Amino acid sequence: MAAIFAMEAYWLYNQYEYSSMVKAEEMKEACAKAFETEKNIRIDKYGDIIDKYDDMIDKYDDIINKYDDIKYNNSNVKMLIVLQIGQSVKKRKEKNKPVKSTIRYTLPDTKKKLSVKNIDMSEGVEMASRYMVSQNRRFDRSTFDSLLYAAEGIKTDSFRFVKTNRCMIKPTFSVSGGLSKTLHMRYSTNPLEMEAVEMTIPIPVSQTLKLMIWKFAASVVLLVILGFCMMYQIKTIMIQRRINAIRHEFMKNMIYEMKQPPETSDDDTTAIKIGSTLFFYELNELRHGNEKVIITSRQAELLRILAENLNKVVGREVLLKEVWGDDSYSNSMALNVQITYLRRALKSDSSLSIEAIIRKGYVLKDK
């Protein structure tokens, strides 16, 4: 029972882990969509940024089609973007492979130049668009929480802006915790300035726990029923064994009673006189004067046969077959023992003796 219960608990734990993992993946997808939607909302609040952003997309399409270098100057944020395309781009484009390139950004004010190598052009445009949007308005947590709450009914915790050591396009996720799991997120709101946001979201497990509790309760009920059935089976076996023991004892007593001679009075009982001893066969009793000796039924049978053949030799085979039914070795040993007991019972009468005739049998002598 303990092993079954442990296996059931282990199975439920694995089910909980799997359900938490599935929920975490759903939350990751919802967060990725919420990040993109939040950025688009900030873009919608500033129409000039939308125009510049669309212009960047058009230029990006021209790059893909013409395989030429392009310079784009955003007057709103005063940022120069140079996309360099080599001959390898043409070959990759002809083979329908992803186009990778080196993108150089000249940031405003500081005149800082930043080169990002081996990235897709769409990723480069996305990095520039996040920079443009962040120059007008930073990441809005309240908007993100509203989007996330509408999608999954959850909100963020431990929100903060951080500096990163690399450019990130896609958000990164990690899960920590034991039974109570937490989803950790990092999203680069301005990759060109290495600015990102970090936040955590507790993975809701209430529904999962409720489901697990119901499964656990059902398992406990099943185990209780199984335990009851096992106890009932064990009790049935114990009762059956007791019944068999009572039946065996009853049969033993019945056989003993059937072998007992019927109760009769001394007047109705015929005594066999052997020497100076009276032998009451029905009572298994020997009387010599005032002395009374009770013998067993087998001893009485042996004495009866010997008394009927007084002073005559009675063969061992005859005695064995008459009293025991066969002349096996074990019964032969029992015959010797019973003869010894008979001699002791008759010792008070000196006129009687039971003598053994080697290889023939026994003789009851009356001197």
Residue 314: give its domain's CATH number.
Answer: 1.10.10.10
**Same domain assignment for residues 284 and 359:** yes
Question: What distance in Å separates the CA atoms of residue 348 and residue 345, rounded to the nearest whole number?
Answer: 7
Count of alpha carbons within 13 Å of 225, Cβ hemisphere only?
Answer: 6
**Same domain assignment for residues 119 and 195:** no
Report the predicted TM-score, pTM, of the whole model to 2 decimal places: 0.49
**Same domain assignment for residues 154 and 105:** no
Range of the domain at 187: 1-25+140-224
* Closest by CA position to 128, among listed 60, 38, 33: 60
Decide if pLDDT at 73 tops 80.
no
User: What confidence tier does 207 reach under pLDDT thresholds 50, 70, 90?
Assistant: low
Give a yes or no: residue 259 inside a domain: no
pLDDT at 308: 92
Give a yes or no: residue 152 inside a domain: yes
pLDDT at 83: 47
Give a yes or no: residue 351 inside a domain: yes
Question: What distance in Å separates the CA atoms of residue 108 and residue 117, rounded to the nearest whole number?
Answer: 20
pLDDT at 341: 92
For residue 357, report the phi and psi dihedrals to the nearest 5 degrees.
-105, 115
**Same domain assignment for residues 219 and 284:** no
Compare 343 and 206 and report the one with higher pLDDT: 343
DSSP, collapsed to helix, strand or coil, labels residue 273 as strand
Q: Out of 81, 116, 136, pick the residue that ends a domain.
A: 136
Compare 206 and 319 and report the one with higher pLDDT: 319
Report the percent of the chain where pLDDT is more than 70: 72
**Same domain assignment for residues 346 and 280:** yes
Q: What is the DSSP string of 26-40?
A: HHHHHHHHHHHHHHH
Angle at 96 between CA 95 and CA 100, to 5 degrees: 95
Decide if pLDDT at 257 tops 80.
no
Burial of 68 from C-beta contacts in 10 A (0-12 / 13-18 / 19+) = exposed
User: What confidence tier does 87 reach under pLDDT thresholds 50, 70, 90?
Assistant: very low
Give a yes or no: residue 267 inside a domain: no
pLDDT at 222: 82
**Same domain assignment for residues 95 and 10:** no
Decide if pLDDT at 76 tops 50.
no
Give a yes or no: residue 262 inside a domain: no
Decide if pLDDT at 29 tops 70.
yes
Structurally, the chain folds into a number of domains equal to 3
**Same domain assignment for residues 305 and 358:** yes
Question: What distance in Å separates the CA atoms of residue 20 and residue 227, rounded to the nearest whole number?
Answer: 32
**Same domain assignment for residues 50 and 103:** yes
pLDDT at 184: 92
Give a yes or no: residue 360 inside a domain: yes
**Same domain assignment for residues 19 and 158:** yes
DSSP code for 191? G
pLDDT at 153: 82
Four-CA torsion 342, 346, 350, 354, nearest 10 degrees: -20
Decide if pLDDT at 97 tops 80.
no
Q: Out of 160, 190, 224, pick the residue that ends a domain.
A: 224
Residues 6+ apart with CB under 8 A from 101: 83, 84, 85, 86, 89, 118, 119, 120, 121, 124
Judge contact between 49 and 43, C-beta under 8 A: yes
Compare 260 and 314 and report the one with higher pLDDT: 314
- Neighbouring C-beta atoms of residue 242, cutoff 10 Å: 10
Rounded to the nearest integer, the mean pLDDT of the chain is 78
Give the tens place of pLDDT for each residue, 174-188: 988 877 788 999 999
- Neighbouring C-beta atoms of residue 51, cutoff 10 Å: 11
**Same domain assignment for residues 361 and 276:** yes
